[in-house]
Each structure stands twice: as structure tokens, then as C-alpha cells.
Amino acid sequence: MSDNCLFCRIARREIPATVVAEDEHLMAFRDVSPQAPVHVLVIPKAHVASLDDVREFSIVGRMAEMAASVARQEGIAERGYRVVMNTNADGGQTVFHLHLHLLGGRSLDWPPG
């Protein structure tokens, strides 16, 4: 845990978020600035800055499993969706607590900008 980390504070429920799924290790909540009709972030409750800092990769599998579950819950699984982990500066990461973006509910362009 990191005292001033935004997503640690959301995980501790010190900052409000619209939580759509949660278990012992993970939390999924709606992005405050959605880029698609469904835009959910999946985070580990324990602080890890980025994918580049992960040392125990089973957590990433758990995050993917929760994303797939939320996609079904949100009704976007059949039409399709995208999961993204922006990593460090060139990846466009702005919040340095590991998170997976789940985006769907519209057709998504490729390649990204």
C-alpha cells in the first residue's frame, strides 16, 4: 500500500468509485473519464506501480479473469471488447498503480494513436 497513491486510496475506499466487482485481491471500478460506453479499470489492491514492476505474474492472470467476468456482466462479451495495460511513459500510463482497462460497447479502432 502506498499512502498517497490514488488507486490505493480507491482500494481502501478513501476515495469514492463505482465498484462493479471485487474480491480479496482485486477491485474493478468505472473509469472517471470513460473512453467507451463501458470503461472499467481492474486493479490489484496491493500496490504495484506498473506491469514493468510486477514480479508475481499470477496477479495479471487474475486481473484478466476479472475483466472477462465484468465484460460478461456488462453484456459486451459477445460483441467484443479490448483490454489494455498502458505501461510507463511511452505506453501513456498516467496513474502509477497497475491497472487493466476494459473498454467496450462500441467498435474500437486499431491501431491506437
What torsion, rounded to 10 degrees, do the Cα atoms 80, 43, 6, 56 define? -140
CB nearer to ligand AMP: pick between 17 and 63: 17
Positions that interact with ligand AMP (CB under 6 A):
6, 15, 17, 31-33, 41, 86, 92-95
99 is catalytic: yes
Q: How far is the CB of 60 from ligand AMP (least distance, A)?
A: 15
Q: How far is the CB of 9 from ligand AMP (least distance, A)?
A: 9
Sign of CA dihedral 46, 50, 52, 57: positive
Q: How far is the CB of 101 from ligand AMP (least distance, A)?
A: 6
Q: Is 80 left (phi over 0), alpha (psi -120 to 50) or beta?
A: left
Residues with active-site annotation: 99
